[in-house]
Chains A and B, each alone.
Chain A
């Protein structure tokens, strides 16, 4: 049940306990108990909303930054990752295999702010060796959801 519950919540975190209980064929108490446990164990880390900001009048600029760093003795990448993720404008930090080490995603209001962040804050960190910044021009799909998809049901209305 746990996997199925998580799969439902991952798509729709606003679903209520009653409906979850119906869909999963278990009692509401059981659902409550399970979700409480999942939250307590840090398996469910948050409930977010996927927003298509492009459709609002609010300006947002997103960038992906590849960062090469020197890992620190005894702490590997964790310490430097922490120094980066503590900035609130940083949306995500991943340790990556391959040509560089950390992938940082950033959200700001303007290009300039992003440029400033990279030059003033990120590049000046001691262990950062180099950065490469990519601006996101358009989001087609995010968090498993295809943006701007409104498809009609094209099936015949009644079929045997």
Chain B
């Protein structure tokens, strides 16, 4: 073939994670702290519902927006956790993971040249999805001194005439940062004043370790301009089921549904039946997993304290984001050397944006036993680095 492929796609950077993945995959006995998905199995009663749906022959397409029962359960869930009411008939769309919701949400609201504000470090798909939707990504470099929360000044200085939407990625992957109600209030004020949309990616909402997560959609006059994205991957350990959802005003959901209808048709049917069970009877499972994550989080923070490794205390998701600036290496150099010498894989902070330089993402979706071995190795590794430096 001689005809050129899409320039826009050709110009997309390959994911920073990919490169590292290839090195790690080559190594036989490496311990990985590099995954962004739970180590728990999907709770059995949820899997059982999936199996039951298959046994009953529920193997057809569902309606484009998703099973009515599931949309009803999602509506109940958001109402009981956030006190926000979304109509199951017109304000909820079931998607193929939060991933699809991010993609089509942006496509539904962007006109060519609109600007999308993306605070980083953050999940890898916002920027490419914005580009593919013909938007111009505008990056905010979040700061460790603010615990990687988005500050109103930072938002204000990123806004221009062309700004259309702010992506609000909290609880955050990769930093573990959260935004509490007061933080959100000051952001919401600007959003309302400048008449912007917010795409709030709350896929980790169930996994916070301070107060319960607050959605920006629950603040005064914010529901009307927010696309709330959530899903089953993280909270219910259901990554492979590929199921998420978007809640938004019906004007937006109806446009998203059009894209979804033509590009996807509907989310996987088996997964949707399982998800109904997750929302109906899964609270206790989530709580059990949340407690286990919290123990691991405390374990890692304590390990860092003992080895005097600088790390702000994160209160969300299942990541910690320690700083390695004292060692005078780039994140990638550090991660590569650590992998080669100690056979532990962590992800360089730069995989989540340039301002992740000087940091590592360490996932605690691993058992304490695993984390113990990894922390012993990290301690040995940095002790050696410090010796060499002296």
Residues of chain A having any CB pair with chain B under 8 Å: 4, 7-8, 19, 22-25, 153, 155-160
Contacts and interface: CB of A to CB of B under 8 A. Distances in A.
Contacts of A155: 35, 37, 39
A158 B345 contact: yes
A157 B351 contact: no
B34 A4 contact: no
B241 interface: no
B295 A158 contact: no
Interface string B7-35: 00000000101001100110000101011
A157 B20 CA distance: 10
Contacts of A8: 295
Given A4-B291, A25-B298, A157 B17 contact: no
B34 A157 contact: yes
Contact of B21 (A7, A23, A157): A157
B63 interface: no
Contacts of B173: 160
B265 interface: no
Given A22-B299, A153-B39, A160 B123 contact: yes
A31 to B, nearest CB: 13
Given A19-B299, A157-B34, A160-B36, 18 more contacts: A4-B291, A22-B298, A23-B298, A23-B368, A24-B298, A25-B294, A153-B39, A155-B39, A156-B35, A157-B21, A157-B32, A157-B35, A157-B345, A158-B17, A159-B17, A159-B34, A159-B37, A160-B124
Interface size class of B (residues with CB under 8 A): 20 to 34
B302 interface: yes
A156 B351 CA distance: 17
Given A4-B291, A23-B295, A153-B39, A158 B302 contact: no
A138 B299 CA distance: 37
Contact of B30 (A7, A19, A157, A160): A157
A160 B351 contact: yes
Contact of A158 (B34, B123, B291, B294): B34
A25 B34 CA distance: 25
Contacts of A25: 294, 298
B347 interface: yes
Interface centre among A25, A155, A160 (most CB of B within 10 A): A160
A8 B295 CA distance: 10
B295 A24 contact: yes
17 contacts: A7-B291, A8-B295, A22-B298, A22-B299, A23-B368, A24-B298, A153-B39, A156-B35, A157-B21, A157-B34, A158-B24, A158-B32, A158-B34, A158-B345, A158-B347, A159-B17, A160-B123
A120 B351 CA distance: 73
A153 B295 CA distance: 20
Interface in B156-184: 173
Contacts of B34: 157-159
A25 B299 CA distance: 9
A7 B17 CA distance: 36
A160 B15 contact: yes
A4 to B, nearest CB: 6
Nearest to A155: B35
A22 B24 CA distance: 31
Q: Pick from B125, B173, B298, B351 the residue with the most CB of A within 10 Å.
A: B298
Interface string B284-300: 00000001001100110
Contacts of B299: 19, 22-23
Contacts of B295: 8, 23-24
A153 B29 CA distance: 12
B316 to A, nearest CB: 16
A139 to B, nearest CB: 19
Contacts of B123: 160
Contacts of B302: 22
Contacts of A160: 15, 17, 36, 123-125, 173, 351
Contacts of A23: 295, 298-299, 368
A155 B40 CA distance: 11
Contacts of A157: 21, 24-25, 30, 32, 34-35, 345
Interface string B34-49: 1111010000000000
A71 to B, nearest CB: 37
Contacts of B32: 153, 157-158
Nearest to A18: B302
B21 A156 contact: yes
Contacts of B24: 157-158
Nearest to B124: A160
Nearest to B296: A23
A24 B299 CA distance: 9
